[in-house]
Structures are given as structure tokens and as C-alpha cells.
């Protein structure tokens, strides 16, 4: 769909990975394009759509869009050189408005491209290929380095600020009755909810919608002599260019009358009103989670409706038959609460402990109650069709108990002497307190850890993994014998336990690799013997 007010030439042809928004960078000319083999480029377009009309006779053509745009600019030509217009709008198709047939399309490409290349060469300028094999190459002349592009919170705010909160310039819905676009105030959502990967029914694809709206707006802004976003492929889809995009530190909350607090529940009114669920409902701090993520689509992956609209107790086709419990607890899925939290555990400051704990650790009932908060004894929290769920959620969230840090320094051993392998090495002097304090420092601002670390000794369980959270956990040798017990082949001996635990933690937390003698000081007697 196109914004009605924008009627301007759009310098695009269909591309592979497209955007939902473009950055508000200053426009620059990108020159110095090389002809190196295996060059990585962000403007590559595969001209292969004719395979929908039958098998291709030759390999697809690799087309460098920015190179051609730059060449046209150098001759004071514009996009109409290659793209026809209809109703003041530029067609994304090359030299045509519609596809009339396989042979017709092939002729359009061959006649126009080769003619232009020949004319360029006759003029004494560097021209493009004119022989079949120079365009239809078995080995592509370059590799696509195109990066996906979209609006994060920072980029969205910059557009909102630049357009003085005129959300209607981008956001619209389609009226089935009038067959027209309209703006629905306070119902704004992601472009990708309506515009899918492929054009369908009355909705054009996200690639067409993004380029039609975004680049056209950027060009119009340029004509008004104002700072505008990029209009070439590289400006949005090149990784280095993306890293130069200005980031706003303090981003105001999006104004859409969204709730501050939410009660996550089944959606079944009979169950909700009678509180007959097997688990307590989950109070959810919606406002806080908005700040943790770059886009609402992290959770609301299909639309901005409540989760239980698609994910019910029984499962619905619209929700791919994923029931509510699975939607909230599936590991490895970003949209799931548990899955998102687990992904956060991959952070280098967390993974030293969690990568190891996740293999064997069992969830107990107390961990469930960190989300499924239980009301205080004798206190009922009203939840139902007519209740104030936000107030109930806020009341329950106030019962949360967070833990920051660990035990007092005086309660933690400063050093631990590890005496295994003393036949070859001196005992290892393990800087226990120093390492504990480093871990605590790294996670002190991590809200997930402060909320889910239920005891002061929780951080100790990263190493003392099968021990209760206690200021004096048992020694490693209490569980790990000197040699592997044949009755418990999966439990390593004490030497293996130390090396697996320490080395895996170092690897996961990107600590500099160490050799044997960085921890184990070699005994003088052994050292002399080795030197002989």
C-alpha cells in the first residue's frame, strides 16, 4: 500500500531483504566501487523472477543497483531512465508496468540493457557487459552482504520527532468497504503485521511497502533541502552504515494508551472469575518490558492483541495450535517468556554459570512462583471479567522479593587451596573472593538476575551446582571422588570436575585462555627432572 499524500518517483526495484523503516542519516554518495571477484556488496539484486514462468535457461543475473544509480547521477539522469511511472508513481519493474509474458520480459531486459551498455562504450566511457556469459555467470561476480533493516525504538523515535508526531504519515489501515486507506488513531502497529513477505490480496509485500513509502519520503525531504535518510541500498543494508546510525539514549515511551501492568491469564472467563486454574495468574510489568526490547514484535509477533487471543487452553489454528502454557514456556523461542529469559542467559556475564547449570539443573516449584506469584495468606486478589486486572497485577508485583549481590565479604573465603595433582604441581591458590566479587559486579545492574536469584547464595551455585544455597557449601570432593565411579559414569572424578567447571566457565565468559602452569605451579623436583 502507498501513502496517498506521497506521489513521487521511487528509485527502487524489488530486492531480497527489505525494510520496515529507514534511518534518518544524511545522504551520501557512495563511489569507488571495485570489480573484485567475491566482493561483498549490499546492493545485489538477483534478477531471477522469470523462473516463476518456467525453468531458467541460464544462471540468474547479479545486478548492482547502487552502481547503476551512481552512473545515472553522473549523467544527470534519474530513476525514470529505467522505471516507468503510472499516476506519478514509479513502477518497481524494469522498463515496464506489467509482465506480459516470458519472451517479452526477456526482450525488455536484453534490448534495453545491452543498448545502454553499447551506447556507454561508444561514448568512451566504461560500459557494462554485452555478451550473455558476462551477465549470466555460473560463478557470481560478488557476494551479497545485505543486512535486514527495520525500525528499532531509537529509529522510530527519530522519525516521530522529525515528523512532529504525525503518525498518520506512515501508519494506516485498509477499509474493506471503501477500498481505501485510513488512519486509526491509537491503533498503530507494525508494518509487518499487514505487509507480509509476499504480496497477497489487497496488501502489497513488505518490500514494496517499505521502499514505496520510506524512500519516497526521503527523496521528498531531500527536495525540501532538509536532512534526509538514505535512498540507496548501501545506506540501509550495509552493516558498516547501520553501525553509524545515530542512537537516542533516552527514548520516551510510545504514546498508544498501552497498559502499565497486565495480568496474564487464560482468557477463559469462567475459569478466570472462579480462579479454578491450576496455577496463579502472572502479573506482568508491561511498561518495564517495553524498555527491555527494541520492538513490540519481540512478544507480539503476529499483532498487538493479547497472547490468549491465539494461544488458548485448547489451542487454535490461528495460534498454530500452540496452547497458552507452551507459548509462555517454550525454551529457545524468543516470543516465549521462558525462552526470552533463557536467551538473556547467553550473555557473557551470565553464561559462565547458566551454560553449565542448564544441562542438569531441575526446576522446582519455588521457581514457578517467581512469576506465578501467590497472594498473601487470607488475601484474595480479584481477577475476572469485571475486575481491575492492572490493579491486581500491581498489587501482586509489590510482593516480589529481589536479591542483590551475595554474602558479606567477611563470610566468603578469600582464597581456596586446591591440593589435587600435587604429585606434579604445587597446590593451586584459587582467588575465591576476587572471582565472586567479579561475578557480582558484572550482574549488579541485571534485573533478571536480581529478580530470579532467590538467595544470597544463588551466585555460589554456579560452581557449587548441586548444593543448596548456603554460606558454607560442601567441598567439591564431597560429591566427586578421586576416580570415576563406575556406577555413576556421567559424574566426573575430582580432577575432571575442576577442569570442566573452570575451563567451560572461562570459554563461556570469554576469559583469556590459560595454560596448565598459569594455575598449577610446577614442582621444582619435577621441573628439574623435565629439564634433564
Alpha-carbon separation of residue 71 from 34, 42, 79, 138, 411 (angstroms): 14, 17, 11, 26, 72
Check whether 27 has a pLDDT greater than 50.
no
Which tens digit of pLDDT belongs to each residue from 232-266? 999 999 999 999 999 999 999 998 899 999 999 88
Does the CA dihedral 50-55-56-59 come out positive or negative? positive
Check whether 368 has a pLDDT greater than 90.
no
Check whether 29 has a pLDDT greater than 70.
no
Check whether 25 has a pLDDT greater than 50.
no
Check whether 35 has a pLDDT greater than 60.
no
d(CA 239, CA 63): 19
Q: Is 276 exposed, middle or buried (0-12, 13-18, 19+ CB in 10 A)?
A: exposed
Homologous superfamily of domain range 1-250: Cytochrome C3 (3.90.10.10)
d(CA 521, CA 421): 11
Q: Residues 37-44: what's their mean pLDDT?
A: 82
Higher pLDDT, 288 or 513: 288
* Residue 24 grid cell: 534518518
d(CA 278, CA 291): 31
Check whether 381 has a pLDDT greater than 60.
yes
Q: Are 263 and 283 in contact (CB under 8 A)?
A: yes
Instruction: Return the closest-CA partner of residue 295 out of 331, 330, 342, 340.
Output: 340
Q: Please report the pLDDT score of residue 116 as a whole number.
A: 94
Pairing of strands 39-41, 142-144: parallel
Q: Are 368 and 452 in contact (CB under 8 A)?
A: no
Instruction: Return the closest-CA partner of residue 245 out of 88, 497, 511, 22.
Output: 22
Which tens digit of pLDDT belongs to each residue from 262-313? 999 887 766 555 445 678 889 999 999 999 999 999 999 999 999 999 998 8
Check whether 363 has a pLDDT greater than 90.
no
467 band by pLDDT with thresholds 50, 70 and 90: confident
Q: What is the pTM of this model?
A: 0.77
Q: Residues 341-360: what's their mean pLDDT?
A: 84
* Residue 261 grid cell: 501492568
Q: Please report the pLDDT score of residue 36 as a whole number.
A: 57
Q: What mean pLDDT is reported for the chain?
A: 83
Domain residue limits, the chain: 1-250, 261-397, 409-531
Percent of the chain with pLDDT over 70: 86
Check whether 317 has a pLDDT greater than 60.
yes
Alpha-carbon separation of residue 405 from 451, 452, 454, 473 (angstroms): 11, 12, 11, 17
Q: Are 381 and 392 in contact (CB under 8 A)?
A: yes
Q: Please report the pLDDT score of residue 513 as a whole number.
A: 73
Q: Please report the pLDDT score of residue 359 as a whole number.
A: 58
CATH architecture for the domain at 261-397: Alpha-Beta Complex (3.90)
Same fold, 261-397 and 409-531: yes
Tell the residue number behind the cell numbers 527491555, with chain if given: 292
172 φ/ψ angles, rounded to the nearest 5 degrees: -160, 165
Q: Please report the pLDDT score of residue 13 as a whole number.
A: 33
The 3-state DSSP class for residue 117 equals helix
Contacts for 357 with CB less than 8 Å, ≥ 6 apart = 461, 462, 465
Higher pLDDT, 50 or 406: 406
Does the CA dihedral 13-19-24-25 come out positive or negative? negative
Tell the residue number behind the cell numbers 519493474, with chain if given: 93
Homologous superfamily of domain range 409-531: Cytochrome C3 (3.90.10.10)
Q: Please report the pLDDT score of residue 159 as a whole number.
A: 95
Instruction: Return the closest-CA partner of residue 236 out of 24, 40, 70, 29.
Output: 24
Which tens digit of pLDDT belongs to each residue from 399-440? 888 888 899 999 999 999 988 767 778 889 999 999 999 999
Q: Please report the pLDDT score of residue 157 as a whole number.
A: 96
Higher pLDDT, 53 or 354: 354
Amino acid at each position: 500500500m502507498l501513502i496517498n499524500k506521497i506521489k513521487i518517483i521511487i528509485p527502487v526495484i524489488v530486492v531480497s531483504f527489505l525494510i520496515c523503516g529507514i534511518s534518518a542519516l544524511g545522504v551520501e554518495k557512495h563511489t569507488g566501487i571495485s570489480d573484485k571477484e567475491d566482493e561483498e556488496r549490499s546492493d545485489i539484486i538477483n534478477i531471477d523472477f522469470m523462473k516463476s514462468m518456467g525453468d531458467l535457461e541460464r544462471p540468474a543475473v547479479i545486478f548492482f543497483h547502487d552502481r547503476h544509480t551512481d552512473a545515472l547521477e553522473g549523467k544527470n539522469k534519474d530513476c525514470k531512465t529505467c522505471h516507468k511511472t503510472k499516476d506519478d508513481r514509479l513502477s518497481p519493474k524494469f522498463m515496464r508496468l506489467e509482465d506480459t509474458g516470458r519472451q517479452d520480459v526477456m526482450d525488455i531486459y536484453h534490448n534495453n540493457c545491452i543498448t545502454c551498455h553499447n551506447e556507454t562504450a561508444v561514448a568512451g566511457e566504461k560500459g557494462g557487459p554485452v555478451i550473455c556469459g558476462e551477465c549470466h555467470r555460473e560463478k557470481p561476480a560478488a557476494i551479497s552482504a545485505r543486512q535486514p533493516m527495520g525500525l528499532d525504538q531509537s529509529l522510530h523515535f527519530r522519525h516521530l520527532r522529525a515528523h512532529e508526531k504525525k503518525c498518520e504519515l506512515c501508519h494506516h489501515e485498509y477499509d474493506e468497504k471503501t477500498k481505501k486507506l485510513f488512519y486509526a488513531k491509537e491503533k498503530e502497529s507494525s508494518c509487518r503485521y499487514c505487509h507480509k513477505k509476499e504480496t497477497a490480496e489487497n496488501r502489497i509485500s513488505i518490500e514494496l511497502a517499505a521502499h514505496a513509502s520510506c524512500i519516497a519520503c526521503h527523496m521528498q525531504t531531500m527536495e525540501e533541502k532538509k536532512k534526509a535518510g538514505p535512498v540507496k541500498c548501501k545506506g540501509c543494508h550495509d552493516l558498516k552504515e547501520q553501525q553509524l546510525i545515530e542512537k537516542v539514549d533516552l527514548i520516551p515511551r510510545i504514546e498508544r494508551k498501552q497498559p502499565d501492568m497486565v495480568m496474564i491469564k487464560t482468557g477463559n472467563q469462567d475459569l478466570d472469575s472462579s480462579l479454578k486454574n491450576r496455577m496463579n495468574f502472572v502479573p506482568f510489568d508491561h511498561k518495564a518490558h517495553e524498555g527491555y526490547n527494541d520492538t513490540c514484535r519481540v512478544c507480539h509477533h503476529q499483532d498487538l492483541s493479547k497472547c490468549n487471543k491465539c494461544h488458548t487452553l485448547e489451542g487454535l489454528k490461528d495460534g498454530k495450535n500452540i496452547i497458552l502454557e507452551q507459548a509462555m514456556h517454550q525454551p529457545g523461542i524468543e516470543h516465549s517468556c521462558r525462552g526470552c529469559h533463557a536467551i538473556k542467559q547467553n550473555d557473557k556475564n551470565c553464561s559462565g554459570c547458566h551454560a553449565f547449570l542448564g544441562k542438569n539443573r531441575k526446576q522446582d516449584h519455588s521457581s514457578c512462583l517467581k512469576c506465578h506469584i501467590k497472594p498473601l495468606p487470607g488475601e484474595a486478589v480479584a481477577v475476572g471479567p469485571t475486575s481491575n486486572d492492572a490493579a491486581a497485577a500491581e498489587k501482586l508485583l509489590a510482593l516480589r522479593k529481589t536479591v542483590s549481590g551475595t554474602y558479606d565479604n567477611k563470610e566468603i573465603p578469600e582464597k581456596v587451596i586446591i591440593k589435587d595433582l600435587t604429585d606434579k604441581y604445587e597446590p593451586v591458590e584459587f582467588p575465591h573472593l576476587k572471582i565472586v566479587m567479579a561475578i557480582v559486579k558484572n550482574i549488579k545492574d541485571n534485573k533478571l538476575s536480581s529478580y530470579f536469584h532467590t538467595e544470597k547464595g544463588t551466585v555460589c551455585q554456579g560452581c557449587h551446582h548441586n548444593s543448596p544455597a548456603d554460606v558454607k557449601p560442601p567441598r567439591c570432593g564431597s560429591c566427586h571422588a578421586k576416580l570415576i565411579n563406575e556406577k555413576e559414569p556421567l559424574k566426573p572424578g575430582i580432577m575432571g570436575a575442576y577442569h570442566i567447571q573452570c575451563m567451560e566457565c572461562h570459554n563461556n565468559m570469554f576469559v583469556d585462555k590459560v595454560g596448565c602452569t598459569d594455575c598449577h605451579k610446577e614442582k621444582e623436583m619435577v621441573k628439574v627432572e623435565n629439564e634433564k
